[in-house]
Structure 1
Amino acid sequence: MRPIRLPEPPSGSIGMPDIFEGGVNVIRRAVVIGNGFAGSENQSIGLVRALGLSEKQTIYRVTRPRGGINEWLRWLPVSFHKMLDSVIRQIFGNTRFVMTLQGKKLVPFAAQNGGNVGLSAVLEADPKKIAAMARESFEKEGPLLVVASGRDTVSIASSIKRLAQENVFLIQIQHPRSCLDRFDLVVTPRHDYYALTPSGQQEIPRFLQRWITPREPPGKNVVLTVGALHQVDSVALRIAAAAWHDELAPLPKPLLVVNIGGPTRHCRYGPDLAKQLVSSLYNVLASCGSVRVSFSRRTPQKVSDIILRELGDHPKIYIWDGEEPNPHMGHLAWADAFIITADSVSMLSEACSTGKPVYVVGSEHCKWKFSAFHKALRERRLVRPFTGLEDISNSWSYPPLNDAAEVAGRVRGALAERGWTLQR
């Protein structure tokens, strides 16, 4: 399987003889351990990109069985879940159907390996094989950088580190909840530590506090970010601007992009928020040249139906129908301002990396660590609440949020402490 490659700016080391870039202390390649979800995998790929190793990365994936009775087993560790799924398949036959707990109804299994979410057709993550590859190729290729993200990747990534400790530098993105000393670096949003703040402790009943993680302040190997890592940087935006020039450049300015996610456990909302958004959008249309609206996979149909019914026929407004190609990167490159629902840390992080005005709708529905995330964005003057009273033609700016670049700097420092460096 060929590595997935992303374009990178020209290297400053062109023409440098290989002998000066050799040695067993130079990291020249990266392995990404994904979980089938774009929001997690983009963080790992974004960090590898910021480290300049996109051309030398290989993607592996941890696949959790999905569909049918597996929806009842999502709370199990992925290794035990896989074993139990195998037993069920042996009992009921090696078919794509099993009995669910809902009477005698047969429910098809969803596509494995993440289906159409995130990357597809990538290698299954086998910690023993990856660790053996790191050990066997160490003298010739140098150390291996392993970057993983998401709960299901924790055991795989830590096993690779345990099996090839002297040959691997391991970065785990998103808080692994326990035993942080298994990783060389842990990269996690600052709001994951909300439970330890005075506000967080007031919100959590005392009898539940011992079960909330993290339980201790971040250690030396923990890197805190404002938002989520991603692949959006100046190079990616320039490429997207060129690719979407013919479609988006001629649109009347200012171009307002509206990204609508979906409710989460900590950010609950429904049709009322859609009605509020519609009303506020009508109030600002006079100051807009054009509006582009996109839904996510999590957007409830009740919400999208309201938006389509109320805004679908307006001449200034285009609503993306979900068909490929996805205009998301083109929107980031060409938009003059954004309106984003409060539920998506990823969408907000990407938009804030552009330095353009970002308005948030629905943050009053968020609680727990999501409220801490929105507070951090407001304190850094990265976002403003969308009220419907804005003049979209009045632009404002801020230093772009660049978590991936800041984390990359911490990675280089940690490597230097170990006597390793990155290929330039």
Structure 2
Amino acid sequence: MRPIRLPEPPSGTMGMPEIFEGGIYSVIRRAVVIGNGYSGAENQSVGLVRALGISERHSIYRVTRPRGGINEWLHWLPVSLHKKLVYVIKRICGDSRFPLIARGKKLVPLLNEIGSGAGLSSILEADAKQIATMARETFEKEGPLLVVASGRDTISIASSIKRLAPENVFVVQVQHPRSRLNRFDLVISPQHDYYPLTPQAQERIPRFIQRWITPYEPPTKNVVLTVGALHQADSAALRNAAATWHDEMAPLPKPLVVVNIGGPTRHCRYGADLAKQLTNSLQSVLATCGSMRISFSRRTPQKMSSIILKELGDHSKVCIWDGEEPNPHMGHLAWADAFVLTADSVSMLSEACSTGKPVYVIGADRCTWKFSDFHKSLRERGVTRPFTGKEDISESWSYPPLNDTAEAANKVRQALSERGWTLRP
């Protein structure tokens, strides 16, 4: 198998002393990440901060929604309205006891405390006024503040920070915010988010609802387009993972194929039938594999995982991760010779396609709307191939790896330069 040389993450700006670059008032040394509690979104922001070279000086704030019971039905509301509604219901029902609703045979609380999820104790609740005040009050000592946010619930917070401290912050919104892009200094969006503007999509949208489908207009000057999602799996991270997992994965017979199985989504629908198809195809390629490691995600339905465990769990070449820590995901990215992935996760595909190693995809034919467009773009670039079960895994192939995170970081540097600012790790 021919090794693939991964692109190095961009280094921070190194050059003349700050006095010749405009002084401390034009040098960004720190960042704030606004998250929504979902790793797929937060990893994109942290990955961008890593690529910019300031990961050692960033803080994470989180926009959290009430969870549990009826709250699961209210996620379509803007997060601020959702919280206000929670407050009103708590005032009516009392703080100590909340009505219960039945979910099947299980009773669950109507309301849970905001931010009560595991792991939130060390992460501050995002407050636009507090962050903007901090940016203004520390500007003379610390310089400008970079704000990176990702996910629908972070849009109002990030835009408010920009409005409250426009001279002290540079705000980057990752993932398309649907409308009013001028609220941000920079928007980083995958190309497939603009699928609704393509002729194919326009033909599928009834004319009377076209004006309600976002985005409404082509990318503006402050939009950076990517192929896939940003992530943290850069060359430095993979080298560290290779060292960490060396003792466990280096002895495995080659080629090592890593199989990552996600779960159905609104635009990528599948179930037990795909699990059976995947199982049959994996059994067919085992003859050309040295070893195979399989992982499920938290979204994988039990019916799917049960089928795969039953058919492949006892095979001598197969190891199925049991879900216990430590998570081998980064080790798999570093040591795999090829990947077989389900089509549902843009993040999972983006990470694998950044390695330059063969990536086979199953289930892309079941994806619709912009996700179908995403898979089409990967195939046209030669980055992925459909997984049929007829592959010879020992035969390698390569392609120019996706390098979205580093390329987006360069665009951020360019935008900062146009403003007269620079980055200093």
SS at match of 2:339: strand
Structure 2 counterparts to residues 3-152 of structure 1, below 5 A: 22-95=23-96, 97-100=98-101, 106-108=107-109, 112-113=114-115, 115-116=117-118, 121-152=122-153
| 1:95 Cα offset (Å) | 3.6
CA shift, 1:202, in A, is 1.4
- Shift in Å, 1:94: 1.9
Q: What is the CA-CA distance between 1:18 and the residue it aligns to?
A: 7.2
Offset from partner CA, 1:188-224 (integer Å, 9 cap, x none)? 1100000000111112222221111001001000111
1:23 Cα shift?
Answer: 1.9
What amino acid is aligned across from residue 240 of structure 1 in structure 2? A
Q: Map Cα deviations across residues 36-67 of structure 1 (whole Å, 9 max, x no partner).
A: 00000000000011111101100000011111
Gaps of 5+ in 1: 1-7
Contact 1:355 1:397 in 2 (8 A): yes
SS at match of 2:189: strand
The 8 Å contact of residues 18 and 24 in structure 2, kept in 1 or not, is answered as: no
Change (3 A) 1:394 1:112: farther
| Paired letter, 2:141 | K
Match of 1:188 in 2: 189
- 1:396-415 map, 5 Å: 396-415=397-416
Deviations along 1:153-184, one digit per CA (max 9) or x if unpaired, are: 00011111110011010000111111111000
In structure 1, C-alpha distance between the alignment counterparts of 2:43 and 2:99, rounded to whole Å: 32
Shift of 1:13: 5.4
1:202 partner letter: E
Deviation, structure 1 residue 111: 7.5
SS at match of 1:41: helix
**Structure 2 letter corresponding to 1:320:** W
The CA deviation at 1:107 is 1.0
CA 1:44–1:11 in 2, change beyond 3 Å: closer, same or farther?
closer
CA contact (8 A) 1:229 1:349 kept: yes
* Cα 1:341–1:105 shift into 2, 3 Å: closer
CA shift at 1:368, angstroms? 0.5
Q: Equivalents in 2 of 1:27, 1:287: separation in Å?
A: 51
Conserved 8 A contact 1:63-1:124: yes
Counterpart for residue 5 of structure 1 = none
Partner residue in 2 for 1:225: 226
- Alignment CA distance shift 1:32-1:413 (3 Å): same
Change (3 A) 1:121 1:23: closer
User: How many equivalent residue pairs?
Assistant: 415
* 1:418 equivalent in alignment to 2:414: no
TM-score normalized by the length of structure 2: 0.93
Match of residue 388 from structure 2: 387
* Gaps in structure 2 of 5+ consecutive residues: 1-8
Superposed CA deviations along residues 276-311 of structure 1, whole A, max 9, x for unmatched, are 000001110000010000000110111111011111
200-209 or 164-173, larger mean C-alpha shift: 200-209
Secondary structure, aligned partner of 2:212: coil
Does the C-alpha gap of structure 1 residues 95 and 341 become closer, same or farther in structure 2, counting only changes over 3 Å? farther
Would the aligned equivalents of 1:98 and 1:107 in 2 still touch at CA under 8 Å?
Answer: no
Question: Aligned AA for 1:288?
Answer: C
Contact 1:68–1:99 (CA under 8 A) maintained in structure 2:
yes
Percent identity over the alignment?
A: 74
Partner residue, 2:207: 206
Q: CA deviation at 1:115?
A: 2.8
1:365 Cα shift? 0.3
Indicate conservation of the 8 Å contact 2:259/2:295, yes or no: yes
Which letter maps to 2:375? H
Determine the C-alpha separation between the residues in 2 that align with 1:114 and 1:405. 34
Question: Scaled by the length of structure 1, what TM-score is found?
Answer: 0.93
CA RMSD of superposed structures (Å): 2.2
Tell me the equivalent position of 2:6: none
Whole-Å Cα distance in 1 between the matches of residues 17 and 34 of structure 2? Answer: 32
Match of 1:393, SS state, is coil
Kindly indicate whether structure 1 or structure 2 has the higher relative contact order, using CA contacts under 8 Å at least 6 residues apart: 2
Shift of 1:139: 1.1
Shift of 1:106: 4.2
What does residue 327 of structure 1 align with?
Answer: 328
The answer as to whether partners of 1:25 and 1:420 remain within 8 angstroms in 2 is yes
Q: Which residue number corresponds to residue 310 of structure 1?
A: 311
In the TM superposition, structure 1's runs of 4+ consecutive aligned residues that sit over 6 Å from their partners are 8-12, 101-105
Q: Check conservation: 2:11, 2:51, Cα contact below 8 A.
A: no
